Amino acid sequence: MAQKKFVVGCFDDEKVLFPAVKQVRTAGYKIKDVYTPFPVHGLDHALGMRETSLHTAGFIYGITGTTTAISAISWIFTKDWPLNIGGKPHFALPAWIPIIFELTVLFAAVGMVMTFMWLCQMAPGVKKHHFHKRATDDLFVMVIECTEKTNAEDLKALLASNGAVETDIQVAEEDWWFGTYDNDNENLYKQVAH
């Protein structure tokens, strides 16, 4: 649990947001994150994020499902309990294709969702600090973490001159904790006077 100081700039238009991201980064600040109400395509590139490899994980989970199904069914039907069905082969691969396919999909989907939740650190009852309530409504909220060298007031001015409709300095917990959202005055968050 570590509280840190952040400078927050809110934008209400993507057209303003993109140049602002560039300006802030050129000025040498490290943007912690931009919180948006919907996926803004290209923002991950603008922030210099790498592509996610979640889909690769999905592929690996999928083939795990395939191999689980093939190995389990073939062991059961040829070794553990071979059933004589009209003298037909015990190793009846075509008849297993439906289940092999279903398990592939099931493993891939469940595995990917679990991985997604793990990577994003999300679970029922997890609470995170929200820099602006309207980040899930209609504002694009840029958050910059302050280092000891950062002059927060300068940064605020920079954000404002780049079109931020609201700027703010907050000291907040950067990680998640267990809690609910019904009590806004939970000990981990305090707003610094403007």
Partner 1 sequence: MHLKYESQLREPLVYGDKTYAQVTEDIVRPIEAKPSRLWYIGFFIAVSLLSFGAYSVYREVTYGIGQWNLNKTIGWGWDITNFVWWVGIGHAGTLISAVLLLFRQGWRTGVNRAAEAMTIFAVMCAGQFPIFHMGRVWMAFFVMPYPNSRGPLWVNFNSPLLWDVFAISTYFTVSLLFWYSGLLPDFATVRDRAKTALRKKLYGIASFGWTGSTKHWQRHESLSLVLAGLSTPLVLSVHTIVSFDFATSVIPGWHTTIFPPYFVAGAIFSGFAMVQTLLLIVRKVFGLTDYITIGHIDLMNKVIVLTGSIVGIAYLTELFMGWYSQNKYEGYTFWYSRAYLFSPYGWSYWGMMACNVLSPQIFWSKKMRRNVFVTFFMSIIVNIGMWFERFVIIVTSLYRDYLPSSWSVYYSPSIWEIGFYAGTFGLFFTCFFLFAKYFPVIAVAEIKYVLKRSGESYKPAFDEIEAQPLDSFVHDNAHH
H or E, element range at 32: strand 31-35
- Is residue 14 involved in binding partner 1 (CB under 8 A)? yes
Instruction: Please choose, out of 3-11, 113-121, 152-160, 186-194, the segment that lies near partner 1 by the rule CB under 8 A.
Output: 113-121
Which residue shows structure tokens 């570590």?
Answer: 2
Site size toward partner 1, by CB under 8 A: 79
- Dist CA 58 CA 9 (whole Å): 35
Q: Closest approach of Cβ 150 to partner 1, in Å?
A: 17
For partner 1, the binding residues in 154-183 under the rule CB under 8 A are 176, 180-183
**Is the distance from CB of 145 to CB of 6 less than 8 angstroms?**
yes
Q: Closest approach of Cβ 53 to partner 1, in Å?
A: 9
- Is residue 99 involved in binding partner 1 (CB under 8 A)? yes
For partner 1, the binding residues in 16-75 under the rule CB under 8 A are 18-19, 21-22, 25-26, 33-40, 42-49, 51-52, 54-55, 58, 62, 72-73
Torsion of CA 148, 151, 152, 155, to 10 degrees: -130
Overall residue count recorded for the chain in this entry:
194
Best CA proximity match to 17, nearest among 140, 145, 161 = 140
Residues with Cβ within 8 Å of 88's Cβ and at least 6 positions away in sequence, in order, are: none
- Is residue 113 involved in binding partner 1 (CB under 8 A)? yes
- The binder of partner 1 chosen from 63, 71, 110, 160 (CB under 8 A): 110
- The binder of partner 1 chosen from 1, 15, 84, 149 (CB under 8 A): 15
Instruction: Please choose, out of 2-10, 109-117, 152-160, 163-171, the segment that lies near partner 1 by the rule CB under 8 A.
Output: 109-117
- Dist CA 116 CA 122 (whole Å): 8
Q: Closest approach of Cβ 63 to partner 1, in Å?
A: 13
Give whole-number Cα distances, 48 to 9, 13, 33, 78, in Å: 19, 20, 11, 53
